[in-house]
Amino acid sequence: MERRLSMNIATATQSFCLAAIIFAAQLPISAQDNFTDDSEIKTFLHNSFDGKNAGMVIGLVDEHGSRIFAAGKLDNNTSQELNGDTVFEIGSITKTFTALLLQDMVERGEMNLNDPVAKYLPQSVVMPTRNGKEITLLNLAAQDSGLPFNPLNLDGGENYFAHYTTNELYAILPSCALSSDPGAKFEYSNLGMGLLGHAIALKEGANYESLVVNRICRPLHMDSTRVTLTDELKARLTRGHDASGKLVPNWDFDVLAGCGALHSTANDLLKYISAEIGLTPCSLAPAIEKTQAIRHRGDPVYGDTAMPWVDCGQSAQTGMKLLGHAGGTAGYSAFIGFDRQHQRGVVVLFNEQDGTQGGVHSQMLGWLLLEGVRLTPQITANLFPASTAELVGIGVKLRFDQPTRTIRFETVFPNMPASQAGLSAGLILQKVDGIPTAGKSIDLCACYIRGKAGTKVRLELVNPERNETNTVELIRQKFTQPKQ
């Protein structure tokens, strides 16, 4: 996100997973068991980015190997087009490397997850506590330290992480009021993960980048994943754009490098994912497995969370074993994710800010690809946000009910097709145009509901209180997004 280094999963989830007051699209098509369709991915990319300065690279990996799809340009004053070796800022995906680096050090006996962070900082630095509980290395890696999202003394500007120093970090830590006891709950924190990277570097007497390169990148042959770019990597770096398509400066990092400083390519990240899902045997395998262990469950935005992987509720909704992480800087959006059970993974790299106000919702795209959804025009139309508050739909907000594993109406908005038909909150959405919703994500169910104004959508609904099943046919209409 602009001005705030974030996973951007939160934005995508809040906008799409939780709200099905949905943007215009075509009629739905059901998800497939196969791992996507190459021709449809190519069509989506070329229709979206051919001839444009902004562009996207999609990478897939499974037991059959890796595939790369790309469209758009580097926008670096050349005619170069994006490909699997194009370099992007990957923002908060860096956090997964930081946590893996920590776990590797634990495996080597160099650190302990339960060590207080203070053990690795200068004695003059005072770490905050809450109810007598100290923050441990595990708390930082699992994102449950209670530390704030960003340091409170982080100044604004286009490249503000670059100017945030070690002295400023040490100065703010004593005054940080923890929002919860360390270990109590997942709370996303750039400060926490940046501090973890710093503590690891102090322990080893080396800089963060050299540790990531020597312990992760070189064993996995990830030669294009770096913090500092060589001239050769700079020549492959695509320029970043804000949500309006305007070029924006790249970001640099100092002491908080561990929260978002890395650059990478689709080809490198596919190697990383291959190791994560066991397709590539490597010495990091024991550490990788432990970083994927679920530490907290049921966060309303991030779902089940690991170290620091998340599933945004996708695992519960689909019945699959999914984990992912996204990253966003001022001019880039990125997502990597994998299906542990079926050993397949996805990379999405976009040289534009994620599509909350413009562009493409790259995280939503990544989760749908992992779900096995084909990128037909009926689906891809939903990846582009509305340019105004005017939407097309039936006026409902969906939620996933964990105990019954069903999709339900959370809210039915007044003066809309759903409310005019007498529908109410709590109804179970069982089918949309004959397609069962069981085992499908809210994102996909939302795609099923969306459509052109004036078209019909048929819903099969269950009233759990009366144990009644009814079918209703509604006509989609334009409306102004209700204020929440």
pLDDT at residue number 366: 96
Token code pair at residue 14: 């809040």
pLDDT at residue number 1: 34
CATH 3.40.710.10 corresponds to the domain 1-19+34-383: yes
The 10s digit of each residue's pLDDT in 345-386 is: 999 999 998 765 556 789 999 999 999 998 888 788 788 765
Token code pair at residue 128: 């905050």
Phi and psi of 147, rounded to 5°? -70, 155
pLDDT at residue number 388: 41
| Strands of the 322-328 sheet, one edge to the other | 65-71, 56-62, 344-350, 333-339, 322-328
* Residue (of 273, 315, 272, 271) closest to 294 by Cα position: 315
The 10s digit of each residue's pLDDT in 445-454 is: 988 898 788 9
pLDDT at residue number 35: 77
8 A C-beta contact, residue 355 and residue 243: yes
In the chain, residues under CATH classification 2.30.42.10 are: 390-480
15 band by pLDDT with thresholds 50, 70 and 90? very low
Residue 12 has pLDDT above 50, yes or no: no
Instruction: Provide the residue type at 426 as one letter.
Output: G
Residue 373: partners with Cβ closer than 8 Å, 6 or more residues away: 31, 32, 36, 379, 444
Distance CA 59, CA 82 (A): 12
Instruction: Provide the residue type at 258 as one letter.
Output: G
pLDDT at residue number 364: 92
Phi and psi of 471, rounded to 5°? -115, 135
Q: Which of 423-446 are b and which e, b meaning 16 or more Cβ less than 10 Å from the residue's Cβ?
A: beeebbbbbbbebebeebbbbbbb
Class of 390-480 in CATH: mainly beta
Distance CA 458, CA 270 (A): 40
In the chain, residues under CATH classification 3.40.710.10 are: 1-19+34-383
pLDDT at residue number 51: 83
The strand pairing partners of 470, in sequence order, are: 461
Percent of the chain with pLDDT over 70: 89
3-state secondary structure the chain: CCCCCECCHHHHHHHHHCCCCCCCCCCCCCCCCCCCCHHHHHHHHHHHHCCCCCCEEEEEEECCEEEEEEECECCCCCCCECCCCCEEECHHHHHHHHHHHHHHHHHCCCCCCCCEHHHHCCCCCCCCCECCECCEHHHHHCCCCCCCCCCCCCCCCCCHHHHCCHHHHHHHHHHCCCCCCCCCCCCCCHHHHHHHHHHHHHHHCCCHHHHHHHHHHCCCCCCCCECCCCHHHHHCECCEECCCCCEECCCCCCCCHHHCCCEECHHHHHHHHHHHCCCCCCCCHHHHHHHCCCCEEEECCCEEECCCCECCCHHHHHCCCEEEEEEECCCCEEEEEEECCCCEEEEEEECECCCCCCCCCHHHHHHHHHCCCCCCHHHHHHHCCCCCCEEEECCEEEEEECCCCEEEEEEECCCCHHHHCCCCCCCEEEEECCEECCCCCHHHHHHHHCCCCCCEEEEEEEECCCCEEEEEEEECEEEECCCC
CA 294 to chain centre: 17
For residues 384-392, give the mean pLDDT. 58
The 10s digit of each residue's pLDDT in 95-149 is: 999 999 999 999 999 999 999 999 999 999 999 999 999 999 999 999 999 999 9
The 10s digit of each residue's pLDDT in 192-226 is: 999 999 999 999 999 999 999 999 999 999 999 99
8 A C-beta contact, residue 69 and residue 310: no
pLDDT at residue number 358: 53
pLDDT at residue number 392: 75
8 A C-beta contact, residue 178 and residue 129: yes
Distance CA 72, CA 49 (A): 5
Largest CA distance in the chain: 68
8 A C-beta contact, residue 388 and residue 10: no
pTM of the predicted structure, to 2 decimals: 0.90
Residue 235: partners with Cβ closer than 8 Å, 6 or more residues away: none
End-to-end CA distance of the chain: 22
